[in-house]
Structure 1
Amino acid sequence: MNKGQVVSFDEAVALSQDLVSTKPYCVWVSVFEALGRTLAKDIICKKNLPSYNNAALDGFAFKHQEGLSELLIKTTILAGNVVEPSLGENECYKIMTGAKVPDDADTIIPFEDCLLYDEHKIILSPNVKKGNALRFKGEEERVGALLLSEGTCLSSRDIALLASQGISMVEVYKKLAIAVFSTGDELKSPWEIASEDEIYDINALSLMALLREHGFAAQYCGVIPDNLEAATAYFAQMKQYDVLVTSGGVSMGEADFVERALLINGFKASFHGINIKPGKPTMMGKMGETIVASMPGNPLAAYVNAFLFLIPVLKKFQGQKKFNFEVIYAQNSEPFKVKSGRINLVLGTYNLGAFYAFDGNRYGSGMVKPLVNSNALWISDETTTHVESGEEIKLLLF
């Protein structure tokens, strides 16, 4: 593409996701370390769920038939006990939750539903239905069924499913190696002293936190001075990473050396500039096999554009099948204005089906508080000039 060419929002989404052409190699990890990792292979059911007929609650197990009333208690079955079928006529088992139900019983009545019971006998309620409170072998999943698909980002609930199959090791994709850094002689790292003429590096820390929220660990590589020679040498040592995330140094300013330093190292931009506000200077491309995402220097713009463009790319690169955002619908609470001719990214609060634009959409891309006080993002089209109160809109939660 031509230098300085500004692409549309949709083009930026497509071009950024096209940067992913491969998946990481596979590794085996303990199920204790599998949370948040991406499955490299399907998980197939190898043990029925449940693996045997069992009691859904504490009660009495018996063979259902018409006319039953009084039953003698044959024996007590606890979870973990294996009892062979041994019921005689008008007999039942006292059974505890999760215990295996012998094949000669097909119904369970909870203690509290009995008309009467003691240590030796029970009197049934006449309303007990056959199969009551019985969890049947394989009723949840049967051997051979697909439990989890390749590309699933494992949640705590997925770990429970793995545990149900006795899986101790699972094959996942290797974690991406991600480096995050900022540019600017005016920036100081958090452990340094900043004078009145200097500012702290907000972007590197906020972007690393954003990545971690979405399951990605990154290495903080500090601040690169606005110096072409130093930046060029720095990037030459960064090609072992899967992804480089920069902020600042990508606008048309005289001292913005990032793109030039990257180009010297073989960088090819997919785009440099998006027709959006905030975040017009956003640039993405590849340096060899390394994906490079260069965010604007303003904190709000850097964060929002990393959320919109970088996070889906990382999820796709990590091998996840679900990498696009889910859209929700809301009613706009208070009217606000936007400028037509571009895509506008408007931060606000989503609560009980309503959207409240932060400060009526009157804030700047260099601010931080709109991020702190927002949990939703509205994306305009290029023709919209205002949004009315009560108007239905689409939102992304973040």
Structure 2
Amino acid sequence: MLLFQEALNLISRNVKQLAAVKVSLQKSVGMILAENLCSRIAMPPFNKSAMDGYALCACDVEKVPVTLRCLTSIEAGISFNKTIRAGECAKIMTGAPIPKGADSVVMVEYTQQIKDSVCILKKVIKKENVCVKGEDIKINQKVLSEGRKISVSDISLIAAIGRSHIKAIGKPRVAVLNTGGEIIPPGKKLVKNKIYNSNGLQLQALLLADNIEPVFLGIAKDKPKDLEQAIRKGLECDVLLISGGVSMGDYDLVPAILKKCNVRKIFHKVKIKPGKPLFFGKRKNAIVFGIPGNPVSNFLTYQVFIRPALSKMMGKKPYGPKFSEGIIEKAFHHKAGRKHFIPAKISKKGVNYYVTPIESHGSADVLALSRADGFMVVEADRRVVKAKSKVKFIIWEK
């Protein structure tokens, strides 16, 4: 049976980053940029007005009040081809190009219109209220670097420099398969000896939270023919997540079916609690996780094994699970033998994190999982965690 870190290392060695793909801006949020982005234009691309007001030459308003002849009104997106000369001005809107001969804008609040003229009531200095060409971004300036995770705020920048598509590390196609004759979809009437499919929806929600659109293969009964058909379909994806059927029961058929489908077993069983029966294998470029069927095991193995694998495939760094250290409020007794992940409340007071284990009835306790912020981690050889002592934890986003 593998130790936790050994399993992580084997997964990492067998997972490769996906190739870069061309993707539209609106679909790129959360993806990793696979190119340096340089602007082919200056920003702003021309001198433009920062305010509604009047474009003029600052030297004409050194003494105020002064009356200037207003030649025209310039809207955003409209050019004015004549030159503003001494004693002249043009009404101008925010974002409109500064006309030739003008070097500043006086805000409309400091003017009075008199027929075809305007009285300027306040002095301005050269370039006042003018956004100068290239003051934000120069031509050929690098604006985003390869390896950056694209954020929502990056989209307006990329669009502003004229790009509709970018190169980013691709997203894996991830198939989700539930197994078990006792599983039925939520929304249906619960009949005797059946339970609702919480794991399948949990995995799909976790994938969506990680910006991956899941391919749900449904619920396969614990029958070889049904399982083989579903698994072969799932192996067409980059990743196949199978929930249930990987333990040692008479109906835990998944490892044998995977072998029949030419999936090479890399490991089966990890020295952790919960999640011990975890299976990891590979066929060509497809990787397979066989996940224990209890919901807490399902959630834990995604957090500490599957998410890091998916993150590496998508070019995210760092991609391993992030452990922190906190102080346990009360003493905790642990049965030594396996690294134990316990649902816990995590709070921060000052500079310290405090960890409180949640009372749980085992790896099927979805209520305890819902109340938790993360997992407290107790090493395999630690029998007692004393009150106020330090303990590791992993926290997840709600």
TM-score under structure 1 length normalisation: 0.79
Which residue identity lines up with residue 130 of structure 2 in the other structure?
Answer: L
Which residue identity lines up with residue 59 of structure 1 in the other structure?
Answer: G
SS across alignment from 2:14: coil
SS across alignment from 1:397: coil
SS across alignment from 1:219: strand
Find the counterpart in structure 2 of residue 380 from structure 1.
377
Q: In the aligned structure 1, how far is the partner of 2:121 from the partner of 2:385? A: 74
Aligned length: 385
Matched, 1:167 2:146: no
Matched, 1:225 2:221: yes
Find the counterpart in structure 1 of residue 180 from structure 2.
184
Find the counterpart in structure 1 of residue 120 from structure 2.
122
Find the counterpart in structure 1 of residue 365 from structure 2.
367
- Work out whether residues 332 and 393 of structure 1, in 8 Å CA contact, stay in contact via their aligned partners in 2: no
Which residue identity lines up with residue 366 of structure 2 in the other structure?
Answer: V
> Deviation at 1:207?
0.5
SS across alignment from 1:372: helix
Distance 1:332 1:139, change over 3 A: farther
TM-score under structure 2 length normalisation: 0.79
- Work out whether residues 229 and 261 of structure 1, in 8 Å CA contact, stay in contact via their aligned partners in 2: no
Distance 1:61 1:275, change over 3 A: farther
> Deviation at 1:291?
0.8
Find the counterpart in structure 2 of residue 313 from structure 1.
309
Find the counterpart in structure 1 of residue 40 from structure 2.
46
Moved more, 249-258 or 67-76: 67-76
Which residue identity lines up with residue 226 of structure 1 in the other structure?
Answer: D
Q: In the aligned structure 2, how far is the partner of 1:287 from the partner of 1:357? A: 40
Alignment of 1:26-105 (within 5 A): 26=21, 28=22, 30-31=24-25, 34=28, 39-64=33-58, 67-71=62-66, 72=68, 74-75=70-71, 76-84=73-81, 86-89=83-86, 91-102=88-99, 104-105=101-102
- The correspondence for 2:274, drawn from 273, 278, 284, is 278
- Work out whether residues 24 and 176 of structure 1, in 8 Å CA contact, stay in contact via their aligned partners in 2: no
- Work out whether residues 31 and 159 of structure 1, in 8 Å CA contact, stay in contact via their aligned partners in 2: yes
Q: In the aligned structure 1, how far is the partner of 2:280 from the partner of 2:78? A: 61
Matched, 1:337 2:332: yes
Larger radius of gyration: 2
Which residue identity lines up with residue 345 of structure 2 in the other structure?
Answer: G
Could you tell me which runs of 5 or more consecutive residues in structure 1 were left unpaired when the two chains were aligned: none
- Alignment RMSD (CA, Å): 3.9
Which residue identity lines up with residue 369 of structure 1 in the other structure?
Answer: L
Distance 1:290 1:176, change over 3 A: same
Could you tell me which runs of 5 or more consecutive residues in structure 2 were left unpaired when the two chains were aligned: none
Q: In the aligned structure 2, how far is the partner of 1:332 from the partner of 1:129? A: 60
- Work out whether residues 313 and 323 of structure 1, in 8 Å CA contact, stay in contact via their aligned partners in 2: no
Q: In the aligned structure 2, how far is the partner of 1:279 from the partner of 1:210? A: 17
> Deviation at 1:201?
1.5
Per-residue CA shift, 1:348-391, capped at 9, x if unaligned? 36589786757x422232122344344x3255363682563999
Moved more, 338-347 or 265-274: 338-347
SS across alignment from 2:192: coil
> Deviation at 1:299?
0.9
Q: In the aligned structure 1, how far is the partner of 2:393 from the partner of 2:75? A: 56
Moved more, 362-371 or 349-358: 349-358
Find the counterpart in structure 1 of residue 319 from structure 2.
324
SS across alignment from 1:286: strand
Distance 1:132 1:293, change over 3 A: farther
Alignment of 1:195-344 (within 5 A): 195-227=191-223, 230-232=226-228, 234-317=230-313, 319-322=314-317, 324=319, 335=330, 337=332, 339=334, 342-344=339-341
Q: In the aligned structure 1, how far is the partner of 2:323 from the partner of 2:99? A: 49
Instruction: State the percentage of identical aligned residues.
Output: 28
> Deviation at 1:32?
5.2
Per-residue CA shift, 1:127-174, capped at 9, x if unaligned? x66544332222222222333445555444333233223334445555
Distance 1:326 1:156, change over 3 A: farther
Which residue identity lines up with residue 307 of structure 1 in the other structure?
Answer: Q
Q: In the aligned structure 1, how far is the partner of 2:203 from the partner of 2:367? A: 16
Distance 1:250 1:77, change over 3 A: same
Which residue identity lines up with residue 53 of structure 1 in the other structure?
Answer: N
